[in-house]
Amino acid sequence: MGIDQTIFKRIHAKKMTRISWVLALIMAIGACERNTNSADANSFGLSVPAIGDRAIARVNGTLITAMDIEREAALQNVIQPGDPLSPQSVDFPRILNELIDQRLLALEAIRRGLGRDTETMLRLRIARERILGNVLVERAIADAVTENAVQRLYEEQANLSEPGEEVRARHILVETRNEAVEVQQLVKAGGNFASLAFEYSKDAATRLEGGDLGFFNQESMVEPFANAAFLMKVGELSGPIQTRYGWHIIRIEARRKAKIPGLEEMRPRIVRFMTFDEIQKLVTDLHDTANIEILEKPVEIPQISLNPKGEPKTTDPDNMTVKPTEPNP
């Protein structure tokens, strides 16, 4: 079995919760005074540039920076995360205008006091948790999935793997067993397989090529077809073989040892495997060290006030009294 079918099969065997790689741009809105001012905006992170950032626009006293534009460009797949976006790019003014629109909406929400709504704060808290989790995952992956690590895993698996086998086959696909028997007899009587495939085969993808499937490994074909093909000798003609596509007559043209794919061909799969593996490891470690309690009965949570970040103002969980509630009949 080759490298393509070894470590990478393990990816599909893992049952994992899919983790999104695209971080949503959250424009914070919350409970403030009726009239919006820069202090309101600052309290929601709308006007606090990072050290070394560059201001590009000012919207009602708040700043939109180069980093804001580059983050949005990365979210839209215009650039890779961390890459700069030139002000001369056609995307630069478009993204800037989109951020201005978003900022105006956020500031208007603050002015209207929408952040006083508890539901708004809870949604912001959930979004904040997701972003924090995604940032943690991204940094863990960046530390683990390096070029050296990818190269090392490829070389390890290439050294351990034995090249599998590939066959080259032609086939003729028909709808019924009787048709397959008829085609088989025509081939046995000396009929040209490629010509008969052109005349009878229902497989539009190979009919014009005389039924030629090229070289393939056993995992790439449906099981009944692959099982038969890999038991046959070169030049051998099969009997009727049924799959979900219909009935096949197969002839084996050649056999060969499969080539081990090169690093560049395998890189996307290796990176995907290492990424999933690192996430699984991180989540497992966190579970192993966490104190998690699944409550037997639902509990009623008392009314609490939230700060502008959507967090309870009460920081001591021991001071929060909850009482069990009976489930609805």
Tell me, yes or no, whether 156 lies in a domain: no
SS3 62: strand
Tell me, yes or no, whether 148 lies in a domain: no
Write the CA distances from 38 to 25, 30, 55, 112, integer angstroms. 20, 14, 15, 15
Q: Kindly state the average pLDDT of the residues 236-242.
A: 97
Q: What CATH number is attached to the domain comprising 197?
A: 3.10.50.40
In angstroms, rounded to a whole number, what is the distance separating the alpha carbons of residues 303 and 305? 7
% of the chain at pLDDT higher than 90: 58
Higher-confidence residue: 49 or 100?
Answer: 100
206, 241, 257 - which closes a domain? 257
> Which residues lie closer than 8 Å to 21 by C-beta, 6 or more apart?
134, 138
Question: How many of the other CB atoms lie within 10 Å of CB of 297?
Answer: 9
pLDDT of 102 above 70: yes
Q: Are 202 and 246 in contact (CB under 8 A)?
A: yes
The CA dihedral of 89, 94, 95, 101, to the nearest 10 degrees, is 160
In angstroms, rounded to a whole number, what is the distance separating the alpha carbons of residues 32 and 47? 15
Tell me, yes or no, whether 182 lies in a domain: yes
Q: What are phi and psi of 84, to 5 degrees?
A: -80, 160
199, 232, 257 - which closes a domain? 257
Tell me, yes or no, whether 54 lies in a domain: yes
Pairing of strands 246-257, 241-243: antiparallel
Q: What is the CA radius of gyration of the chain?
A: 31
Sign (positive/negative) of CA torsion 230, 233, 235, 239? Answer: negative
What is the per-residue pLDDT for 17? 35
220, 242, 257 - which closes a domain? 257
Q: Kindly state the average pLDDT of the residues 274-298.
A: 92
Instruction: Specify the number of domains making up the chain.
Output: 2
pLDDT of 56 above 50: yes
78-96 burial, b for 16+ CB within 10 Å, e for fewer? bbeeeeebeeeeeebeebb
pLDDT of 24 above 50: no
pTM summary value: 0.53
pLDDT of 201 above 50: yes
Which residues face 59 on adjacent strands?
62
Domain check: are 182 and 248 in the same one? yes
Tell me, yes or no, whether 153 lies in a domain: no
Tell me, yes or no, whether 220 lies in a domain: yes
> Which residues lie closer than 8 Å to 263 by C-beta, 6 or more apart?
150, 151, 154
What is the per-residue pLDDT for 168? 97
- What is the span of the domain harbouring residue 226? 170-257
In angstroms, rounded to a whole number, what is the distance separating the alpha carbons of residues 49 and 102? 17
